[in-house]
Amino acid sequence: MGILLIANFMNLIDVTIVNVALPSMRDGLGATDSQIEWVIAVYILAFALGLLPFGRLGDILGRTRLFLWGVAGFTAASALCGLAPNIEFLIAARAIQGLAGAMMTPQVLAIATVTFPPHERSQAFSLFGLSAGLASVCGPILGGALISANLFGLDWQPIFLVNIPIGIAAVIAGWFLIPRLPGHAALRNDYVGIVLFGLGIVAVVFPIVEGRAYGWPLWAFGMIAAGLLLLVAFVLWTRGRAASGAPQLLNFDLITNKQFMFGAFVVTIYASGIPGFFMVISLLLQGGFDFTPLQSGLTNTPFSVGVLIASGIAARFGANYLRSRLAIAGALLSLGILWLHFYIAGVTDSIDSWAFLPPLLIAGVGLGLGFSSLFQLVLANVPPRDAGAGSGALQAFQQVGGALGVAIIGEIFFTRLGNGFAGGATPHAAFADASSLALWYVVGSFTLVLLLAPFFRRPRGGQGHGAPVRPVLVEA
């Protein structure tokens, strides 16, 4: 259990620790605006695209084998990130890191489910939730501390290099201690589906990130259109596979389940706001107002604390009042981010980190409350036979939403920032103006979740007694 928790913690903390380092990476590697976006987006995108195929591959080759490969790959990719000589190398290493994380993550819960007897599983899953909460709290603080310490003059690089000894220890211990879970060689993966889905998502996200740098040429819009056509081709291909009884990357029964697809859309919208939001806040604090990485990380911490508090609150409600909880979550997130928007819009020459505490704490409680209820709402209307595939698919949609959000929020923020500097604005004013504008997208996305919450079908058997839901681990 300790090995599974360490590997999972290492993956989760990497999601939050990088945000604090973005300004240091930008200065140290001479990165452009779009390249900074890719440092976040490429990891999320690679993780999203790898979740479903690697989950299936674990069933085929054996979950323990895939888990150890994933931890080893994540550790090696962390070393490449920490030693990156330029921003292009770092982006490529982050893509490898995301794929390795996707190889490792689906196996964690599967190994725990098979290894531990039923009376121990609830305690095991509660430990996963605790590790996720601790990772979200520790990430910004640890990242800020490592960068501010400037160990051996390495600046931001230790945030990745710290994974190396932890990963090596996890691989060695896992080799000797984790039971060998056999695979099922007769199972098959849908490789054509993987290619169609992957190319489709990349074709949509790439021009959104890069379009601004090239002045939004015609090929950018053509690429988005081609990506949407590839996703349509993926659906048609999956339908054909289902008709012939062949394996599918995403079960066609889920694609034709209106409640599931509606839920997947809401998950995508819900997940699109936070990664881009923290990218903007870190750049605002460090780039616009000269905060140190540690000060920036501490300023962001109330959000993670709110997520941790809400996780405990949500656990007490179980499967009760899911739609109401989702609506409240959307309202809290909208309120917290809107509060922060109006504060940032009014700053001039200085910014008070304490002013971030109430709105970030409120928003954090909203995020923690909403994710658990949202996943339960969607999966409660999925037949039990599709629950495992449904939970994996929702996590993939969650990551796709994060990548799209980084692209859209980055487009708004960096365009406004460039216009501000071109108009002669001071760094304080330019960063504050660009940040406050970008936050409107975040407010809008969570307001939309609030408005859509009542349209979910009540879980079968009443509001509080839906079908059994397989526990899932959701990255905040």
Q: What is the pLDDT of residues 208-221, one digit of tens each?
A: 888 888 888 999 99
> Residue 174's closest CA among 425, 394, 6, 418?
6
Query: Quick check: 373 and 325 in contact, CB under 8 A?
Result: yes
* Predicted structure pTM score: 0.87
Mean pLDDT of the chain: 87
> Residue 404's closest CA among 214, 216, 246, 204?
204
- The answer to whether residue 222 scores a pLDDT higher than 70 is yes
Please name the amino acid found at residue 52.
L
User: Which of 116-130, 152-166, 224-238 has the lowest average pLDDT?
Assistant: 116-130
Q: Is residue 122 very low, low, confident or very high in pLDDT (cuts 50, 70, 90)?
A: low
Rounded Cα distance, 353 and 301, in Å: 11
**N-terminal to C-terminal alpha carbon distance within the chain:** 22
Query: Quick check: 22 and 293 in contact, CB under 8 A?
Result: no
Q: Is residue 80 very low, low, confident or very high in pLDDT (cuts 50, 70, 90)?
A: very high
- The answer to whether residue 315 scores a pLDDT higher than 80 is no
> What's the pLDDT at 387?
67
Query: Quick check: 333 and 273 in contact, CB under 8 A?
Result: yes
Please name the residues in contact with 8: beta carbons below 8 A apart, sequence gap of 6 or more. Answer: 105, 108, 128, 131, 132, 473
Q: Is residue 462 very low, low, confident or very high in pLDDT (cuts 50, 70, 90)?
A: very low
What is the crossing angle of helices 218-243 and 191-210, to 10°? 160
- The answer to whether residue 451 scores a pLDDT higher than 90 is yes
> What's the pLDDT at 180?
83
> What's the pLDDT at 375?
84
Sign of CA dihedral 58, 61, 67, 70: negative
User: pLDDT per residue over 370-412, tens digit each?
Assistant: 887 888 888 887 777 676 678 778 888 988 899 899 999 999 9
> What's the pLDDT at 193?
92
- The answer to whether residue 98 scores a pLDDT higher than 90 is yes
The segment with the largest mean pLDDT, out of 49-53, 60-64, 357-361, is 357-361
- The answer to whether residue 461 scores a pLDDT higher than 70 is no
Q: Pseudo-torsion of CA 206, 402, 384, 11, nearest 10°?
A: 110
- Tell me the average pLDDT across 242-263: 90
> What's the pLDDT at 82?
93
> What length is written for the chain?
476
- The answer to whether residue 165 scores a pLDDT higher than 90 is yes
Rounded Cα distance, 399 and 272, in Å: 8
Give the Cβ contact number of residue 444 at 10 Å: 14
Of residues 184 and 84, the one with the higher pLDDT is 84
> What's the pLDDT at 467?
41
> What's the pLDDT at 388?
65
> What's the pLDDT at 470?
43
Query: Quick check: 406 and 413 in contact, CB under 8 A?
Result: no
- Tell me the average pLDDT across 9-15: 82
> What's the pLDDT at 114?
78
- The answer to whether residue 96 scores a pLDDT higher than 90 is yes
- Tell me the average pLDDT across 109-118: 79
Query: Quick check: 20 and 191 in contact, CB under 8 A?
Result: no
Helices (H), 248-356: 252-255, 258-271, 274-283, 289, 293-317, 322-345
User: pLDDT per residue over 128-151, tens digit each?
Assistant: 767 777 777 788 888 888 888 888
- The answer to whether residue 83 scores a pLDDT higher than 70 is yes
- The answer to whether residue 472 scores a pLDDT higher than 60 is no
> What's the pLDDT at 171?
94
CA atoms within 13 A on the CB side of 31: 24
- Tell me the average pLDDT across 338-357: 93
- Tell me the average pLDDT across 26-34: 90
> What's the pLDDT at 113?
76
> What's the pLDDT at 446?
95
> What's the pLDDT at 302?
93
